[in-house]
Chains A and B, each alone.
Chain A
């Protein structure tokens, strides 16, 4: 029974840890499917986290914080769009720039506004998103097996967790069942064809980037307003890059993205849980090994040893209407 409880706990933290990855991964899905590479997921999450925590603590409202996180994150996505769509700059260079501007400005502004060494003030109850107890969770807690699964694993998460998982089918529906999604995917494969059909490539890509900005904003807000009660400098700590890895691992598909993020979240949760304690068969596994796993797996996938990851064909190429 102890092992069962431990497994439920690891899975519970897997869910919590994979949510920001999932949101960022879906964000990347929209922009990359539209043919815009986005290395700047990390930076957009970071500004989202900062703006969310800062606004929530100043305006004493979690919802206003979330709104501000989305707004600022979308603004950064628009900078990326301005550079890489309007001015046809190098998308990777632009993404790298956004990451630096985000990393520096969140610390500088945080220090200037709150004077707490780059942190924002600790969020009070009501300024952050609390866990939601699903109906009947407390009643079934004593039921063997299913009780803990329902009350520990599924219940008690914040609204943003449920939002993230609801976004998976929604993103699938938008991308594969709507006209907007069809055009968005087309613009990532063959923008000239979309242009010939009389649809603006630039405007379509901008809309894709707005979706990206919204989702990275929510991801950032989750980090600073759910997982942590306030903003801490560099709190994304490479999650944007892991999300990028997950996106490749998922071969640019929403449902796969969820499983990839859950896998990477699980590795993270297991690394935290197993710190120092030996595993059966393999013995003691260094924490760093578990932390490096997502990257190693992605490289192996990219090398074509586990299936083949084929990116959208027009990805990374600015669209030029006439030569």
Chain B
């Protein structure tokens, strides 16, 4: 996507405009809070305090952030290749199957540091395979990836419900979930890191997956900006025609990008399943895949931005839970609205304020705008 406007300085392009978009999203969210008869400023204070006020809050915030880093990276990798992977939710959900099989098989025999790598491979493989079919259909048959991945979300949900009320459910149990994993499939907590800084933590599910997420963020950065494959992906995302002309195989690049995206989505599963609940239950993804869309857009598809955006959403999730205690009129679903507004203003309306910002810059220094040719450094 080339921008139809003149060039802005980089800090305005990557800092100011996203900030304006985000602020507008939060201002609109504030109006919704007012509409239900609460004070939006007090709500914001409770939210931030709930997320960062106590050690437990911070740990929960980072726990949620871990999940969103994975899904955000998943959406971003596909987006760099010009593909909208709306199927992160389903790829993560079905990856629960892989994790369940590994954990249920090895949790009695192996220690966690052997189960964990196996589970990572299983989660990534199942997620990647679930993304492979839509990718293949897009590349070979031209079926629109957005539609097929939506369909695959529902198919994944049906399969998982079928398995969790049937074969995966332990005999004699009523709850639609697997049996609880034993110690061999429980990931160690990371709460001691926060406790090093003197904060107290009662019990929070922050675990080693957080480190894995950061490693993955670094690897994605490496892939996208420092490898030939990443260059090819970005080329294809920018202009499929140019990529074809340069001899980049369309089929290969679509399939690889989607499989990486699916693998990242699948790894998200490790965090709630092995780090927190210690079982695979119905709807354990609970919308995290869709949050990934908001996180990726907000982070402008860059791993650093994604980590920051994921922490912001982690804060919203944790603080939102506190908010629901303090203000009965507001439930956690407020986050869903904020998520929607962020996607609207940072995604679909991303260029709405650009002309005004450019006019403002032009009035300060006329030479900075309009004189240079468009360098086509779009999002």
- Asked whether B152 is an interface residue with its Cβ less than 8 Å from the other chain, the reply is yes
- Asked whether A245 is an interface residue with its Cβ less than 8 Å from the other chain, the reply is yes
Q: How far is the CB of B279 from chain A (nearest CB, A)?
A: 20
- Asked whether A241 is an interface residue with its Cβ less than 8 Å from the other chain, the reply is yes
- Asked whether A227 is an interface residue with its Cβ less than 8 Å from the other chain, the reply is no
Among A2-10, A107-115, A125-133, A188-196, the stretch in contact with B: A107-115
Please tell me if the beta carbons of B158 and A292 are within 8 angstroms of each other in the complex. Answer: yes
B336 interface neighbour in A104, A109, A241, A304, Cβ under 8 Å: A104
Q: In chain B, what residue has the closest Cβ to A315?
A: B144
Interface residues on B, range: 35 or more
Residues of A contacting B331 in the complex (Cβ-Cβ under 8 angstroms): 107-108, 111, 118
Interface residues on A, range: 35 or more
- Asked whether B339 is an interface residue with its Cβ less than 8 Å from the other chain, the reply is yes
A109 and B334 in contact (CB under 8 A), knowing A89-B347, A302-B148? no
Please tell me if the beta carbons of A97 and B151 are within 8 angstroms of each other in the complex. Answer: no
A82-B351 Cα distance, complex, nearest whole Å: 12
Contact pattern, A 262-289, Cβ under 8 Å of B = 1, otherwise 0: 0000000000000000000000001011
Please tell me if the beta carbons of A93 and B147 are within 8 angstroms of each other in the complex. Answer: no
Residues of B contacting A299 in the complex (Cβ-Cβ under 8 angstroms): 133, 137, 143, 148, 151-152, 155
Among B31-39, B234-242, B265-273, B307-315, the stretch in contact with A: B31-39
Please tell me if the beta carbons of B141 and A241 are within 8 angstroms of each other in the complex. Answer: no
A102-B151 Cα distance, complex, nearest whole Å: 21
Please tell me if the beta carbons of B159 and A108 are within 8 angstroms of each other in the complex. Answer: no
Residues of A contacting B162 in the complex (Cβ-Cβ under 8 angstroms): 286, 288-289
Residues of A contacting B330 in the complex (Cβ-Cβ under 8 angstroms): 108
- Asked whether A121 is an interface residue with its Cβ less than 8 Å from the other chain, the reply is no
A320-B133 Cα distance, complex, nearest whole Å: 33
Residues of B contacting A92 in the complex (Cβ-Cβ under 8 angstroms): 84, 86, 146
Q: How far is the CB of B129 from chain A (nearest CB, A)?
A: 15
A228-B158 Cα distance, complex, nearest whole Å: 24
A320-B1 Cα distance, complex, nearest whole Å: 12
Please tell me if the beta carbons of A112 and B37 are within 8 angstroms of each other in the complex. Answer: yes
Q: In chain A, what residue has the closest Cβ to B352?
A: A87
> Which residues of B, 316-347, contact A by the 8 Å Cβ criterion?
329-331, 333-341, 343-344, 347
A97 and B347 in contact (CB under 8 A), knowing A39-B146, A112-B35, A303-B141? yes
A303 interface neighbour in B137, B166, B336, Cβ under 8 Å: B137
A109 interface neighbour in B4, B36, B159, B294, Cβ under 8 Å: B36
> Which of A91, A112, A320 has the most chain B CB within a 10 Å cutoff?
A112
> Which of B146, B147, B339 has the most chain A CB within a 10 Å cutoff?
B147
A241-B155 Cα distance, complex, nearest whole Å: 12
Q: How far is the CB of B169 from chain A (nearest CB, A)?
A: 14
A252-B35 Cα distance, complex, nearest whole Å: 39
Contact pattern, B 267-290, Cβ under 8 Å of A = 1, otherwise 0: 000000000000000000000001
Please tell me if the beta carbons of B155 and A112 are within 8 angstroms of each other in the complex. Answer: no
> Which residues of A, 35-54, contact B by the 8 Å Cβ criterion?
37, 39
- Asked whether B349 is an interface residue with its Cβ less than 8 Å from the other chain, the reply is yes
> Which of A39, A118, A302 has the most chain B CB within a 10 Å cutoff?
A302
Q: In chain A, what residue has the closest Cβ to B343?
A: A97
Residues of B contacting A102 in the complex (Cβ-Cβ under 8 angstroms): 340
A101 and B352 in contact (CB under 8 A), knowing A289-B162, A299-B148? no
Please tell me if the beta carbons of A104 and B334 are within 8 angstroms of each other in the complex. Answer: yes
- Asked whether B297 is an interface residue with its Cβ less than 8 Å from the other chain, the reply is yes
Q: In chain A, what residue has the closest Cβ to B345?
A: A97
Residues of B contacting A107 in the complex (Cβ-Cβ under 8 angstroms): 331, 333, 336
A94 and B150 in contact (CB under 8 A), knowing A104-B337, A302-B143? no
- Asked whether B348 is an interface residue with its Cβ less than 8 Å from the other chain, the reply is yes
Please tell me if the beta carbons of A93 and B343 are within 8 angstroms of each other in the complex. Answer: yes
- Asked whether A291 is an interface residue with its Cβ less than 8 Å from the other chain, the reply is yes
Residues of B contacting A88 in the complex (Cβ-Cβ under 8 angstroms): 351
Q: How far is the CB of A153 from chain B (nearest CB, A)?
A: 29
State the 9 A-B residue pairs at the shortest beta-carbon distance, nearest first.
A100-B340, A104-B336, A104-B337, A89-B348, A112-B36, A101-B340, A94-B348, A302-B143, A97-B344
Name 21 interchain pairs, CB-CB below 8 A, sorted by A.
A79-B344, A83-B344, A87-B352, A90-B84, A94-B344, A96-B86, A100-B336, A101-B340, A108-B32, A108-B331, A112-B329, A118-B333, A288-B162, A295-B152, A296-B151, A299-B152, A302-B147, A302-B148, A303-B141, A303-B143, A320-B4
Query: Which chain B residues have a beta carbon within 8 Å of chain A's beta carbons?
Result: 4, 32, 35-37, 84, 86, 133, 137, 141-144, 146-148, 150-152, 154-155, 158-159, 161-162, 166, 290, 293-294, 297, 329-331, 333-341, 343-344, 347-352
